[in-house]
Structure 1
Amino acid sequence: MSSEQTANILTECIERQGMMAVADNLSSHFPETAIVTVVVVCCFVATKSTYEYIKKRNRKLDLIIVGSGPIGLTTAIIAAQHSRISKITLYESKPKQNLFLRPQQISLDKRSIHFLKSLMIDFNAIEGCWQNDRFYTRVGTFQEHLLEILKKLDANLEIKFGCKFTGEIMRSISKNQNKKLGMIVVCDGVRGDTASLLGLSDEYILCSCNAYGAMASLDRMYHKHVAVPETSKHNFKLDLSAFGSEYRQPELSKPTFRFKIFGTYRHRYLTLSCPKNGSNVLRQLRITSDSSVIRHIFQESFNSYRTKHEKKISDMEAISMHCSRRMTEIKLSYRRENVALIEDENLIVSVEGDATRTINFHTGFEVNMGFRGLESIHQFITDITMANKKDLLIETLTQKVRHSQKVVDEFLRNGLSIPIHG
């Protein structure tokens, strides 16, 4: 076959690809050489690669967020600052005013604060207090600030307060998807049912934190909702010999406890924890049926380590205090399936915060673990929009699962560590 015939055949092929003008130009200049073949193929490949690159660069997602707690609102802030998000819709089952009234206090650690500052969150504008590189504030106050940040961002955002995410809404979304890839981030807490509604497994994995704990709460309604730094006492030893000979043991073998007071002045929480060991005292605190023992520990410990602005817990208050009956094993639970690809609806699902992992010992750990999970969400969105093949999409989901497992592993290593010296 002559070079001219080769050029003619190649020109016909390129014409079918919409490149007739390029072929004519090249054929007129190189009618008798095989160079035309190489040049045109290179042009075609380069043009097609550029087109695919631009197509991937311009691909955007519609994002749905379920839940407007600290994790849900932070997800919205991340998405609002992401160039790959075209629209954000946030569903919250509770009315807006209910969010700001939440009295629980959260403790943000140094790593979470650094992450949140990178998202333009100004801690100087949040009512709270600092201690040892930690920030303490009420959940409602924190959520109010996050909403203010969202208002300032130029994003296509719609927040639907008082609107629960239901199967009917899901069907409506699927109907209007039109093959466009979408994403749902589930942040509706440990009691939420959105993940199950979307078809994700309800199965949780339970991990021991190698420690035992008990908790008490005290409501003092005459106090205001003022954020207070936590008070901790490490290397804490208990003398419970007055409760019977079974609590007595040699001085050198006494177990080391950690006592902690946290929460606002109105709602005070007390926790007692201890690493697993074979001591008589811990064994008795695990099996006792006498709730007065734990109640006595919390009353006496609070009265010894309270802040100078607080009154001691009276005997009457101690009776009304909500208190664990005994020390129980502290466990972390996390959802076995926390990301998914729903192919029929062309949707990516990611479960975050308490909806995917929680600890049965409320000490402020949960919100920090939630922010650990969000540390990968920006890259996750980018990788999803860049993946033009199913195997690349699956690899992106796998990377998110690995990050979630890393959050769990880090907490199990360090989360409940009790210093030898306090």
Structure 2
Amino acid sequence: MELKKRVIERLQKCTAEGEQYLRLPELQKASVLIPLFFRGGDLHVLMTVRSIELKHNAGEVCFPGGKSDRNDTDEIHTALREAEEEIGLPPVGVEVVCRFTPILNQFTDEYLRRIPNGEWPRVIVVADGSCGDSCSVLGISSEYNVESCHAYGANATIERLDQRQVPTPEIRAHSLYFDLSAYGIDAIKEPRSSSQASAKPGFHLKIYGTFRNRYMALACTSADSKMMRFLRHTASSSIMKNIFHQSFNAYKTDIEPRLSELTLQRMQCSRKLFEIILSHRRVSAAYIEEDKVAVTVEGEAARVLNFDTGCGVNLGMRGLESLGVFIYRTATAQDQKDVFEALSAKIQHSKQVAETFRQNGLAAAMFE
């Protein structure tokens, strides 16, 4: 299964290297299993609800797991044992594909005394969005690298107050062509762009959100066609609105109502196709030597897309994959060299996240 292969490859990139945690103090350890499974071609995650009779965290939604026993060989053994006890999942039926970075949640006086660095650098995480001023206040450059994703897109949203706020499965449709003959544009299928040779030709539609708040994304690879040029430069907002209107009614779920002329008045959408641009901060981590402060920039403060792919803030959050390691390496640094190595690794990861999305992000989010 292609989706399963992609998921495993992505997770394996997040696997924590155990050797870098050998200096962690011997605290009480616990592990959880994040059970992922495929059903009907879709990826699902299994979670549990803690009993309301428990003393700690009663009634919370969580992953199966618990404290380590002395007979457990490692954290994976603990997670598998707890999952079998709590949800009846036999360990032989589980394929462990990665192990995430350990999380420290106990900072006792004994723990703090055992950290091998007597004078720690402080860590500031800037996550105030693309319009925040925190980086400027801290003296970090506000310059961004602005790069094309070699595609064009448009977004639309509509709120229907008579519908329930119930999440709906994502809908995708590919290789769409629109009848614009009334505007003198023939719906001729154009050859695909060399910059996105693996993508299907034509337009790609995604519908997502809830029954009340429906969102749509329309994208296509860059190509010098009459239809593309027309939709990029049209001065009439009604053209894109009609395209979204007809596309939604053609591909909506069977149990929701069609868009009518009345509900169409509440639709908000892009006036025309625009170039999809990825902006990412040139300096995503820095060290303020006089204050012994390490700064890392995360979320939309680090990278932002001018097009809603339906993946929410996931692009910004991908930088968090290396945040735990960065904080640990900075907090346990023996000297400035260790701090600079942690900063360098964090900056490289941030650049890699941006480059990976620019090369493959739209393909995964829209074109497949």
Please tell me the TM-score bracket, short chain as reference.
Answer: 0.5 to 0.7
In structure 2, how many angstroms separate the alpha carbons of the residues matched to 1:217 and 1:272? 12
* AA of the residue aligned to 1:268: R
| Corresponding position: 1:350 with 2:296 | yes
Q: Where does 1:214-233 land on structure 2 (aligned, <5 Å)?
A: 214-233=154-173
Report the alpha carbon displacement of residue 366 of structure 1 after superposing the two structures with TM: 5.2
| Corresponding position: 1:280 with 2:280 | no
CA 408–232 in structure 1, closer or farther in 2 if over 3 Å, else same? same
Report the alpha carbon displacement of residue 134 of structure 1 after superposing the two structures with TM: 6.5
In structure 2, how many angstroms separate the alpha carbons of the residues matched to 1:263 and 1:192? 27
In structure 1, how many angstroms separate the alpha carbons of the residues matched to 2:138 and 2:220? 39
Q: Where does 1:241-260 land on structure 2 (aligned, <5 Å)?
A: 241-242=181-182, 244-245=183-184, 247-248=185-186, 250-251=188-189, 256-260=202-206
Q: Where does 1:4-403 land on structure 2 (aligned, <5 Å)?
A: 110=7, 120=32, 132-133=42-43, 154-155=105-106, 180-242=120-182, 244-245=183-184, 247-248=185-186, 250-251=188-189, 256-365=202-311, 367-403=313-349
**Which residue number in structure 1 is paired with residue 71 of structure 2?**
none
SS of the residue 2:356 aligns to: helix
- CA offsets 1:165-210 (integer angstroms, 9 cap, x no match): xxxxxxxxxxxxx954211112222233222222212111111010
Report the alpha carbon displacement of residue 120 of structure 1 after superposing the two structures with TM: 4.8
| Larger mean Cα displacement after TM superposition, 357-366 or 292-301 | 357-366
User: Which structure has the bigger radius of gyration?
Assistant: 1
- CA offsets 1:362-412 (integer angstroms, 9 cap, x no match): 123453323421221222223223432323322221111111111011101
Report the alpha carbon displacement of residue 332 of structure 1 after superposing the two structures with TM: 0.6
- State the percentage of identical aligned residues: 37
Report the alpha carbon displacement of residue 361 of structure 1 after superposing the two structures with TM: 0.6
In structure 2, how many angstroms separate the alpha carbons of the residues matched to 1:411 and 1:114? 17
In structure 1, how many angstroms separate the alpha carbons of the residues matched to 2:228 and 2:171? 22
Q: List gaps (5 residues or longer) in structure 2.
A: 1-5, 17-30, 46-59, 67-103, 109-117, 193-200
Provide runs of 4+ in structure 1 moved above 3 Å. 109-124, 152-157, 249-255, 418-422
Q: Indicate if the aligned counterparts of 1:290 and 1:325 stay in contact, CA closer than 8 A.
A: yes
In structure 2, how many angstroms separate the alpha carbons of the residues matched to 1:337 and 1:381? 17
Report the alpha carbon displacement of residue 237 of structure 1 after superposing the two structures with TM: 1.8
In structure 2, how many angstroms separate the alpha carbons of the residues matched to 1:293 and 1:272? 13
Paired residue total: 275
Report the alpha carbon displacement of residue 110 of structure 1 after superposing the two structures with TM: 4.2
- For the aligned residues, what is the CA RMSD? 3.4
In structure 1, how many angstroms separate the alpha carbons of the residues matched to 2:106 and 2:244? 49
In structure 2, how many angstroms separate the alpha carbons of the residues matched to 1:110 and 1:348? 32
CA 380–418 in structure 1, closer or farther in 2 if over 3 Å, else same? closer
In structure 2, how many angstroms separate the alpha carbons of the residues matched to 1:419 and 1:182? 37
TM-score (norm 1): 0.58
**Which residue number in structure 2 is paired with residue 411 of structure 1?**
357
In structure 2, how many angstroms separate the alpha carbons of the residues matched to 1:326 and 1:250? 20
In structure 1, how many angstroms separate the alpha carbons of the residues matched to 2:170 and 2:366? 19
In structure 1, how many angstroms separate the alpha carbons of the residues matched to 2:367 and 2:151? 18
SS of the residue 2:291 aligns to: coil
| Larger mean Cα displacement after TM superposition, 250-259 or 352-361 | 250-259
CA 368–134 in structure 1, closer or farther in 2 if over 3 Å, else same? farther
In structure 2, how many angstroms separate the alpha carbons of the residues matched to 1:155 and 1:240? 63
CA 302–114 in structure 1, closer or farther in 2 if over 3 Å, else same? farther
CA 336–374 in structure 1, closer or farther in 2 if over 3 Å, else same? same
Q: Indicate if the aligned counterparts of 1:354 and 1:366 stay in contact, CA closer than 8 A.
A: no
- CA offsets 1:308-343 (integer angstroms, 9 cap, x no match): 121111112212210111000000111111101111
CA 281–121 in structure 1, closer or farther in 2 if over 3 Å, else same? farther
In structure 1, how many angstroms separate the alpha carbons of the residues matched to 2:40 and 2:350? 29
CA 327–130 in structure 1, closer or farther in 2 if over 3 Å, else same? farther
* AA of the residue aligned to 1:203: E
In structure 2, how many angstroms separate the alpha carbons of the residues matched to 1:192 and 1:368? 19
In structure 2, how many angstroms separate the alpha carbons of the residues matched to 1:189 and 1:237? 36
**Which residue number in structure 2 is paired with residue 103 of structure 1?**
none
Q: Indicate if the aligned counterparts of 1:253 and 1:279 stay in contact, CA closer than 8 A.
A: no
